Chains A and B, each alone.
Chain A
Amino acid sequence: AQSVTQLGSHVSVSEGALVLLRCNYSSSVPPYLFWYVQYPNQGLQLLLKYTSAATLVKGINGFEAEFKKSETSFHLTKPSAHMSDAAEYFCAVSEAGGGNKLTFGTGTQLKVEL
């Protein structure tokens, strides 16, 4: 079964600093990969997705992620953190070639400090 691992349940950065949230997947065949953001007491919003096209994927709010097959990783980055980026971030995977459901990681809570 597909799975994703998010390293670090809590990450803290200073405003203006680089944001790096880690996600590794377990699959011998490159799957479809997603990053979602969740603000308190709200649903999840899609940030970006990888579907086997370009390995560097750009998303909303200045976020991007790079698919690295050799490292089975799909880390999320943003060059300069803003206070409004404080939220919980989830990596998710679906089966290669499609599949009818997503499997989510345990989430990373991002804190942005002045």
Chain B
Amino acid sequence: DGGITQSPKYLFRKEGQNVTLSCEQNLNHDAMYWYRQDPGQGLRLIYYSQIVNDFQKGDIAEGYSVSREKKESFPLTVTSAQKNPTAFYLCASTQNGQANYGYTFGSGTRLTVV
């Protein structure tokens, strides 16, 4: 079955470390997205990419970086510059880069700073 796979499900990071969250899809979707979820704040857009080798900043891109070397993959790196990285991270995709189709979501990665 087609879908989006996020790994790991749980991730622990020490202060000052960079960590990378994986997102892979086999839906042949063109666009991919990273959202951050905090209690009471809904989902906030970090980065998105509509085609390979191109991506745009979302509303809260500071302290994060992404790459899109393959259509299927859109990894997110949480850098040491992100001051409050503890959150639930969700990856999503949509066909043809059009949000009116709605998103397909992965099952998320919960990142905790220890």
Residues of chain A touching chain B, judged by Cβ–Cβ distance below 8 Å, are: 9, 32, 34, 36, 41-46, 49, 51, 90, 94-95, 98-107
Chain A interface helix/strand/loop/mixed: loop
Take A32-B100, A94-B100 as given contacts and tell me if A100 and B31 are in contact as well, using a CB distance cutoff of 8 Å: yes
A90 touches B100 (CB 8 A): no
Within 8 A of A (CB), among B1-36: 4, 6, 9, 31, 33, 35
A-B contact pairs, 9 of them (CB 8 A): A32-B99, A43-B6, A43-B107, A49-B102, A98-B98, A98-B99, A99-B99, A103-B45, A104-B43
B98 touches A41 (CB 8 A): no
Take A43-B107, A90-B42 as given contacts and tell me if A100 and B50 are in contact as well, using a CB distance cutoff of 8 Å: yes
Q: How far is the CB of A44 from chain B (nearest CB, A)?
A: 5
Within 8 A of A (CB), among B56-96: 58, 88, 90, 92
Residues of chain B touching chain A, judged by Cβ–Cβ distance below 8 Å, are: 4, 6, 9, 31, 33, 35, 40-43, 45, 48, 50, 58, 88, 90, 92, 97-100, 102-108, 110
A43 touches B105 (CB 8 A): yes
Chain B interface helix/strand/loop/mixed: strand
5 closest Cβ pairs, A-B complex: A43-B105, A94-B99, A106-B42, A104-B43, A32-B100
A104 touches B42 (CB 8 A): yes
A44 touches B99 (CB 8 A): no
B100 touches A98 (CB 8 A): yes
Take A43-B90, A100-B97 as given contacts and tell me if A105 and B103 are in contact as well, using a CB distance cutoff of 8 Å: no
Complex CA gap A42/B90 in Å reads 9
Contacts of B103 in A (CB 8 A): 44, 46, 102
In the complex formed, the residue of B with least CB distance to A44 is: B105
Contacts of A95 in B (CB 8 A): 99
Complex CA gap A99/B99 in Å reads 6
Determine which of B45, B102, B108 lies in contact with A43 in the assembled complex, contact meaning CB atoms within 8 Å: B108
